[in-house]
Amino acid sequence: MVNNQEREKCASGIEGLDSILGGGFPVGSMVLVTGVPGVGKTSLSLEFAIRGAGAGDRTLYITTIERPEKLLASVPEFDFFRQDLLDEGMLTFMEVPELMDAVSMRGRPECREDVLRFSEALSRYIDDNGVRRLIIDSYSAMFHAFDDHGVSRDLLLMLSEMIYRKGCTAMLVADVEPSSTSDLAITATMESIIADGVIVLGNHQRRSDLLRTLQVLKMKGTSHSRSKYVIDLTSSGVLITPLLRGGA
Ligand SMILES: Nc1ncnc2c1ncn2[C@@H]1O[C@H](COP(=O)(O)OP(=O)(O)OP(=O)(O)O)[C@@H](O)[C@H]1O
Ligand SMILES: [Mg+2]
């Protein structure tokens, strides 16, 4: 299990990201992947999921906005995807009500009790299925029914403890409003303080091109580059190169 002296690494399988992180995420980490719409949060999460399942980690991908069928229809585009990962249960896509076996629930929690039930159902599912990687895409969308930000933070604290205890590694997608003036808006939130790691995806205008960028703002338990990188979303996965190459 997780050893505090020298934390075992969970290689994301995304080559450029693992080299930024010196091998991967410390096992048991809860990492926020954040950014405005269209920057590649789902692409990065899908690659983390598919590569992980391919490497033998049972992976649960919880969707809260897109229907699992829609994501399933997009995964064969990746040349590292294998159908047997789904057939053999190494990779599972699921919505919140299915996880909770709650036919009456409409997509996402609507009260504090729902949030507690979600946490308990997730904990059970991880134990029963030996889940090693968890993705929630998106975490923020689970809380559309709440004005009280405390609920999302409480669940984040519960998840953080649960994930660490179980030796699972998680990527939670945190949306940033398109109107936000800065890619780094999330860093001012309590969510980013609670998380073990924060990866910010953003946009960068270079002459007539709008580039996508990636920056690891923090990753507890490992030293890493904090530079900004350019990312390319391709069928071979997320390609990562330094932003400054060729002039910014
Ligand atoms: N394999 C790929 N090859 C080329 N372009 C891609 C690929 N995957 C995604 N894209 C492009 O990137 C866009 C955004 O990707 P993605 O859905 O990962 O972003 P997102 O941050 O999750 O967006 P949202 O906030 O809307 O959920 C897609 O609309 C598509 O145009
Ligand atoms: Mg998305």
DSSP strand E in the chain: where? 9-10, 25-26, 30-35, 59-63, 91-95, 133-137, 169-175, 197-206, 209-219, 228-234, 237-242
Instruction: Collect residues with CB below 5 Å from ion ligand 2.
Output: 41-42
**117 or 135: whose pLDDT is higher?**
135
Sorted by where each begins, the domain ranges of the chain are 27-198
Q: Note the pLDDT of residue 174.
A: 93
- What number is the average pLDDT over the span 188-208? 90
- Three-point CA angle 70, 186, 246, nearest 5°: 80
Q: Which of 50, 233, 238 to mutate to test the pocket of ligand 1 (most atoms within 8 A of CB)?
A: 233
Shortest-distance Cα residue to atom 26 of ligand 1: 37
> For residue 51, is pLDDT > 90?
yes
User: Which of 3-12, 29-38, 108-117 tops mean pLDDT?
Assistant: 29-38
**Residue 75 alpha carbon to ligand 2 centre in Å:** 13
Distance 134 CA to ligand 2 centre (A): 16
Tell me the mean pLDDT in the region 131-157: 90
3-state SS of the chain is: CCCCCCCCEECCCCHHHHHHCCCCEECCCEEEEEECCCCCHHHHHHHHHHHHHHCCCCEEEEECCCCHHHHHHHHHHCCCCCHHHHHCCCEEEEEHHHHHCCCCCCCCCCCHHHHHHHHHHHHHHHHHHCCCEEEEECCHHHHCCCCCHHHHHHHHHHHHHHHHHHCCEEEEEEECCCCCCCCCHHHHCHHHHHCCEEEEEEEEEECCEEEEEEEEEEECCCCCCCCEEEEEEECCEEEEEECCCCCC
Ligand 2 center to 206 CA (angstroms): 24
C-alpha to C-alpha distances, 199 to 31, 72, 92, nearest whole angstrom: 7, 24, 24
CA 40–ligand 1 middle distance (angstroms): 5
Tell whether the model's pLDDT for residue 247 goes beyond 60. Answer: no
Is the pLDDT confidence value at 103 over 90? no
Residue 127 burial (CB count, 10 A) = 11
pLDDT tens digits, one per residue of 150-195: 888 899 999 999 999 999 999 999 998 777 666 666 666 888 889 9
In this prediction, residue 2 carries a pLDDT of 47
Mutate to test the pocket of ligand 1, among 42, 142, 214 (most ligand atoms within 8 A of CB): 42
Say if residue 113's pLDDT is above 90. no
State whether the beta carbon of 83 lies less than 6 angstroms from ligand 1.
no
Rounded Cα gap, residues 34 and 176, in angstroms: 7
Which pLDDT score, from 0 to 100, does residue 6 have? 63
* pLDDT surpasses 50 at 3: no
3-state secondary structure of 150: helix
Cβ 140 under 6 angstroms from ligand 1: no
At residue 4, does pLDDT exceed 50?
no
pLDDT for residue 55? 97
pLDDT of residue 121: 93
Distance 173 CA to ligand 2 centre (A): 8
CB of residue 40 inside a 6 A radius of ligand 1:
yes
State the pLDDT confidence band at 211, using cuts at 50, 70 and 90: very high
The answer to whether the CB of 233 is under 6 A from ligand 1 is yes
At 101 the pLDDT is 74
CA distance 119 to 97: 12
Q: For residue 188, what pLDDT is reported? A: 64
- Does ligand 1 lie within 6 Å of residue 234's CB atom? yes
Contacts of 168 (CB under 8 A, 6+ apart): 28, 126, 131, 132, 133, 134, 162
In the predicted structure, residue 230 carries a pLDDT above the cut 90: yes
C-beta separation of 231 from 214 below 8 A: yes
Average pLDDT, the chain: 89
| Burial class of residue 146 (count of CB atoms within 10 Å of its CB; 0-12, 13-18, 19+) | middle
Task: Specify the residue for token string 């997780």.
Answer: 2
Residue 120: its pLDDT value, please? 93
CATH architecture of 27-198: 3-Layer(aba) Sandwich (3.40)
